[in-house]
């Protein structure tokens, strides 16, 4: 992209990006710029500001792809054929960058209430043995929500074990596992064997944000749950 092409693009942007509507969000050009380099050429790129009139969840990692697609259309209107690399360099948000996200307080509180559960009972069969694990999810110091990569929104949450019952159908015996280390090891073993057993209740709690493509685009992004047994 040369300087004349950039000037053409800026003129079209000024007419179309004030605001640019993206799935309920409004993107504005500001009067502030940032100097960038593309193929050894320097450009003063206008910073973009996000307005959220509908107060919906959004994340940088999801929004940037939506805006790139909009800018791809704008560049074609300008008679330009910019690469995805060039477009990604031209989109710079004011005070919002990789890994940043926003969740409205109402939804955030709803998620936390959902995660702090009553006792859950999880049954899992391994060979002749059926394990019944009782415990609950807790939002404590281990709890984290963050973008681990451009594709993965990670959630770390503790599962506090209350009891584990072992029913051996092979020799018709049963026992209550009382050793804490053995219980924790079993939770990780069961989770490794069938992760959905522990993750499903957590996925349900995040349905209010994952339904927004501005926060997480299920076509290529996903919620990655990590259970911490305690």
Residue at which a domain ends, from 68, 83, 101: 101
Domain boundary residue among 101, 130, 161?
A: 101
Closest alpha carbon to 93 in 138, 130, 62: 62
Co-location of 36 and 149 in the same domain: no
What angle in degrees, to the nearest 10, is found between the helix axes of 3-16 and 60-77? Answer: 110
> Which pLDDT band, with edges at 50, 70 and 90, does 230 fall under?
very high
C-alpha–C-alpha distance, residues 35 and 210, integer Å: 34
pLDDT in tens, 70-119: 888 877 777 777 788 888 888 899 989 999 999 999 999 999 999 987 89
Of 101, 129, 157, the last residue of a domain is: 101
3 pLDDT more than 70: no
Domain extent at residue 128: 104-229
**Residues pairing with 222 in the sheet:** 152
Residues forming a β-bridge with 134: 121, 163
Of 222, 220, 223, residue with least CA distance to 69: 220
Number of domains in the chain: 2
pTM beyond 0.75, yes or no: yes
């Amino acid at each position: 992209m040369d300087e004349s092409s950039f000037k053409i693009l800026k003129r079209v942007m000024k007419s179309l990006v004030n605001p640019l509507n993206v799935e309920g969000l409004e993107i504005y050009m500001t009067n502030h710029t940032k100097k960038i380099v593309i193929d050894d050429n320097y450009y003063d790129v206008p910073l973009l500001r996000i307005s959220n009139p509908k107060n919906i969840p959004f994340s940088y990692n999801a929004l940037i792809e939506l805006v790139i697609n909009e800018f791809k259309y704008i560049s074609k209107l300008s008679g330009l054929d910019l690469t995805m690399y060039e477009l990604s360099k031209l989109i710079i948000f004011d005070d919002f960058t990789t890994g940043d996200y926003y969740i409205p307080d109402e939804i955030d509180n709803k998620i936390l209430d959902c995660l702090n559960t009553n006792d859950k009972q999880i049954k899992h069969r391994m060979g002749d043995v059926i394990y019944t694990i009782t415990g609950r999810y807790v939002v404590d110091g281990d709890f984290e929500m963050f973008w681990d990569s451009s594709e993965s929104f990670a959630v770390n949450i503790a599962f506090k074990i209350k009891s584990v019952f072992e029913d051996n159908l092979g020799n018709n015996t049963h026992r209550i596992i009382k050793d804490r280390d053995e219980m924790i090891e079993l939770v990780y073993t069961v989770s490794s064997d069938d992760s959905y057993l522990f993750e499903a209740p957590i996925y349900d709690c995040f349905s209010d944000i994952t339904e927004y493509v501005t926060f997480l685009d299920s076509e290529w992004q996903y919620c990655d749950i990590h259970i911490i047994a305690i």
